[in-house]
Amino acid sequence: MAPRSGKTSGLAIPAILSAPGPVLLTSNKAANDAFTTTVDARAEVGTIWTLDPQQIAHHPREMWWDILADARDLAGAKRLAGHFVTASVDESSGSDFWSTAASNTLGALFLAAASHRRPITDVLAWLAMPADRTPVDLLTDAGHHAVAAQLQGTVSGATETRDGIYETARQYASCLLDPDVAAWVTPNEDLPEFQPFTFAISRDTLYLLSKDGGGSASAIIAAAADAVMRAAVIVAERSGGRLDPPALCVLDEAANVCRISDLPDLYSHLGSRGVIPMTILQSYRQGQRCWGEAGMDALYSAATIKIIGSGIDDADFADRLSRQVGDHDVQTTSVSTSESGKSTSVSMRTERILPPDAIRALPKGKVLLLATGIRVAMLNLKPWYKEPSAKVVGPASARATKAITERALAKSIGQDDLGLSA
């Protein structure tokens, strides 16, 4: 669905408001969006965890999450490095030499830090000084001899190559250079720790907020969403196969703030475990840019319920949908007049039920539902603000939005006092 066509208000918010179990939401907006609209209602059923490293909601830091918790083995460290790469580059350039080498180096450094419970800020220090032998020693010490040797190889290779690799890795990890961002994912004794495994069996809510684009904290958001979904699957497997109640994971603005590179593969595991992913994209193309053509195809086929709304500008996609909606027989009657009198003939011809141009022109609020085992259906979305509960939810959202503005104002006044604002 195109921008402003009701993805958040008609899909994400109603799903969150009616979720029986834990909820995860990723978003790049705070005021008057899913965060403000659902935060009060969700606070009534469980704890609210807000990871807001770039201060989208100007939310105070009241929690921390250990980003290195899953990086204590090589596979986990590589996944984490992958999130930083995918957040910065498109699928097409994610596999060139520099990206791959930088990703390997980042992975090795994450593993070195995680296996000795060092904070992520150590990784930044090592990135700044490739000659520092500490990570190689830590890796050797933890028994990761092959990774240590590989990192040593990179460090002692040709200077230009080494510097190129390290510079690329520094760019990928650049969001952590901001101490205010890094603080959210660094252990802190005074604040509660967000624990994905506990979350999976709670009725808590995790809000993951970030700006778009490279250099933003979106890698952290993707890593956190990934950690939560994987933890939920593990908990489900331990407790009879499915999470009950199910966990809802709303990946709003998925291509902007939650680029999990193997989301298409994850999809097939999640559904059968009671972990319900809901990936929201502005167009099919946006998904292709993020996961590649094959990846987006895999994601599309793995989703058992697909909803397509207004603003489909892609002619091929509209035609494909039109074919899936199918044909119907139309009866045409023609009347001809001749000397012998009037004659009427009736003929049948097949026509598209919904031609591509009608799909292109779907009005706001109307969507096509493609679900397994049924014919394509046309639905009216029921946005939260048209529901009876809007009497309560609306004012709550307004209050939460006002609180964001007040926190923003309080900050700028604080900066005035320090002479920092422009």
Ligand X SMILES: Nc1ncnc2c1ncn2[C@@H]1O[C@H](COP(=O)(O)OP(=O)(O)OP(=O)(O)O)[C@@H](O)[C@H]1O
Scanning 1-9, 116-124, 192-200, 285-293 for contacts with Mg ion by CB under 5 A, the matching segment is 1-9
Q: Kindly state the smallest distance separating residue 346's Cβ from Mg ion, in Å.
A: 49
- Asked whether position 197 contacts ligand X by CB under 6 A, the answer is no
Using CB under 6 A, pick the residue from 98, 197, 317, 385 that binds ligand X: 385
Q: Kindly state the smallest distance separating residue 280's Cβ from Mg ion, in Å.
A: 7
Q: Kindly state the smallest distance separating residue 7's Cβ from Mg ion, in Å.
A: 5
Instruction: Count residues near ligand X (CB under 6 A).
Output: 11
- Asked whether position 311 contacts ligand X by CB under 6 A, the answer is no
- Asked whether position 211 contacts ligand X by CB under 6 A, the answer is no
Q: Can you give the chain as a three-state secondary structure string?
A: CCCCCCHHHHHHHHHHHCCCCCEEEEECCCCCCHHHHHHHHHHCCCCEEEECCCCCCCCCCCCECCCCHHHHCHHHHHHHHHHHHHHHCCHHHCCCHHHHHHHHHHHHHHHHHHHCCCCHHHHHHHHHCCCCCHHHHHHHHCCCHHHHHHHHHHHCCCHHHHHHHHHHHHHHCHHHHCHHHHHHHCCCCCCCECCHHHHHCCCCEEEEECCCCCCCCHHHHHHHHHHHHHHHHHHHHHCCCCCCCCEEEEECCHHHHCCCCCHHHHHHHHHCCCEEEEECCCCHHHHHHHHHHHHHHHHHHHCCEEEECCCCCCHHHHHHHHHHHCEEEEEEEEEEEECCEEEEEEEEEEEECCCHHHHHCCCCCEEEEEECCCCCEEEECCCHHHCCCHHHHHHHHHHHHHHHHHHHHHHHHHHHHHCCCC
Scanning 2-10, 84-92, 297-305, 408-416 for contacts with ligand X by CB under 6 A, the matching segment is 2-10
- Closer Cβ to Mg ion, 101 or 250, answer by number: 250
Using CB under 5 A, pick the residue from 5, 8, 218, 310 that binds Mg ion: 8
- Closer Cβ to ligand X, 3 or 373, answer by number: 3
- Asked whether position 7 contacts ligand X by CB under 6 A, the answer is yes
- Asked whether position 279 contacts ligand X by CB under 6 A, the answer is no
- Asked whether position 38 contacts ligand X by CB under 6 A, the answer is no
385 binds, among Mg ion, ligand X, none (CB under 5 to 8 A by kind): ligand X
Residues interacting with ligand X, by CB under 6 A?
1, 3-10, 282, 385
